[in-house]
């Protein structure tokens, strides 16, 4: 397959991500690309560089790769990016497919369309056990095999492999949509939750609510992070702060207000614990929002030495030091707040 693969090794092995993108973008212009694979957030940045080289063409993939058939994505929840990729793929016959690959092994791949789940790969040297997320803290949690798993339950995955892993919990959580064959959706990480006040929000709760809020105001989110604001001298109650970068024109103050109100409303609908903490005038303040100008998250990741590759913008930040660094970095980059 090497002779059908792009970029060639001399470009793929460039260590600096910005230099790599700058080198790959012009080199790919004359290639007949049929399939593209990558992490959505980094793909969007690469496409921006690519489109800038030929501003006379519409910023759509069909104009650059007319024979494109497939776009494979993975690594992060695709929901906040779906609208942007739908726009990029207008006029193209390419389909999107999700791949679930981890350092410990290749676990699942989409064999159907969006929203229909990923088919568990069971013949590649991995033995799976599925532990209900609510039992992870137990001394002897229940371990389900493929034959006795249930649909609609969030499981943590434990893997035993011929590479030497033994019942190793890889940190991802999944939910099965079907049992025969097993077809799943990735719902988050075992550590990927926001529950500073007992609100018990999962990564899926947060990401889906942000995607729905963006749709409600007719916008697309490029990247976002959310963390906790604890009670202090300035505020009597705690709450959540969303730091968001939109791929389109940033919303007005009214649009920002409607966006964060929609996030709050969707979370109340999805999560009983969150709704209880937000109701009755006690518990948590309404969430707050900072809208950053374009390129802010890319610049923040670069400042941390985390630009490109397998690095991802952390959607939920429980590390207060890291969240403080994002808020400090955002100073001077805020275009709206609510």
Is residue 124, in this structure, part of any structural domain at all?
yes
Q: How far is CA 239 from CA 78, 157, 193, 242, in A?
A: 26, 31, 14, 10
Is residue 272, in this structure, part of any structural domain at all?
yes
Query: Tell me: the pLDDT tens digits for 216-268?
Result: 999 989 899 999 998 876 777 889 999 999 987 888 899 999 999 999 999 99
Q: Output the pLDDT for position 97.
A: 93
pLDDT over 70 at 17, yes or no: yes
Residue-by-residue DSSP string for 121-143:
P-SSSEEEEEEEGGGTTSSS---
pLDDT over 70 at 280, yes or no: no
* 123 and 84 fall within a common domain: no
Q: CB count, 10 Å around CB of 12?
A: 12
235-274: string of b/e by CB count within 10 Å (b at 16+)? eebbbbbbbbbbbeebbeeebbbbbbbbbbbbbbebbebb
Q: Output the pLDDT for position 251.
A: 87
Is residue 104, in this structure, part of any structural domain at all?
no
The mean per-residue pLDDT over the stretch 45-67 comes to 94
Is residue 270, in this structure, part of any structural domain at all?
yes
Where in the sequence is the domain holding 244, given as residue range(s)? Answer: 195-337
Q: How confident is the model at residue 114 (pLDDT cuts 50, 70, 90)?
A: confident
From 35, 64, 99, the end of a domain falls on 99
pLDDT over 90 at 2, yes or no: no
Q: Output the pLDDT for position 121.
A: 95
How many contiguous H segments (helices) and E segments (strands) does the chain have? 10, 16
**Residues found in the chain:** 338
Pair 25, 49: CB distance under 8 Å: yes
Cα–Cα distance for residue pair 101/77, rounded to 1 Å: 13
Q: How confident is the model at residue 194 (pLDDT cuts 50, 70, 90)?
A: confident
Q: Output the pLDDT for position 282.
A: 59
**Averaged pLDDT of the chain:** 90
Q: How confident is the model at residue 96 (pLDDT cuts 50, 70, 90)?
A: very high
* 224 and 330 fall within a common domain: yes
Weakest mean pLDDT among 12-26, 72-86, 289-303? 72-86
Q: How confident is the model at residue 3 (pLDDT cuts 50, 70, 90)?
A: confident
* 239 and 282 fall within a common domain: yes
The mean per-residue pLDDT over the stretch 24-35 comes to 94
């Amino acid at each position: 397959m090497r002779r059908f693969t792009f970029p060639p090794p001399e470009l793929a092995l460039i260590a600096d991500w910005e230099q790599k993108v700058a080198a790959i973008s012009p080199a790919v212009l004359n290639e007949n690309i049929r399939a593209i694979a990558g992490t959505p957030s980094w793909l969007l940045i690469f496409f921006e560089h690519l489109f800038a080289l030929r501003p006379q063409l519409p910023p759509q993939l069909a104009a650059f790769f007319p024979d494109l058939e497939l776009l494979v994505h993975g690594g992060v929840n695709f929901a906040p990016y779906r609208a942007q990729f739908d726009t990029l793929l207008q006029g193209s016959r390419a389909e999107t497919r999700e791949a679930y690959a981890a350092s410990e092994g290749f676990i699942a791949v989409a064999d159907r369309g969006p929203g229909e789940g990923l088919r568990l790969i069971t013949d590649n040297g991995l033995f799976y056990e599925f532990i209900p997320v609510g039992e992870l803290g137990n001394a002897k949690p229940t371990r389900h095999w493929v034959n006795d798993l249930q649909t609609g339950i969030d499981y943590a995955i434990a893997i035993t492999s011929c590479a030497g892993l033994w019942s190793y919990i890889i940190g991802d959580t999944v939910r099965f949509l079907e049992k025969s064959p097993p077809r799943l959706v990735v719902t988050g990480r075992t550590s990927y939750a926001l529950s500073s006040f007992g609100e018990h929000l999962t990564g899926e709760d947060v990401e889906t609510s942000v995607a729905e809020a963006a749709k409600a105001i007719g916008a697309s989110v490029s990247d976002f992070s959310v963390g906790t604001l604890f009670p202090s001298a300035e505020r009597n109650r705690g709450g959540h702060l969303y730091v968001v970068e939109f791929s389109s024109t940033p919303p007005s103050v009214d649009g920002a207000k409607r966006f964060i109100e929609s996030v709050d409303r969707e979370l109340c609908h999805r999560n009983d614990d969150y709704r209880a903490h937000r109701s009755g005038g006690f518990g948590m303040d309404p969430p707050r929002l900072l809208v950053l100008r374009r390129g802010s998250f890319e610049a923040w990741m670069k400042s941390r030495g985390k630009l490109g590759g397998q690095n991802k913008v952390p959607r939920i930040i429980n590390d207060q030091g890291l969240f403080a660094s994002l808020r400090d970095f955002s100073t001077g980059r805020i275009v709206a707040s609510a």
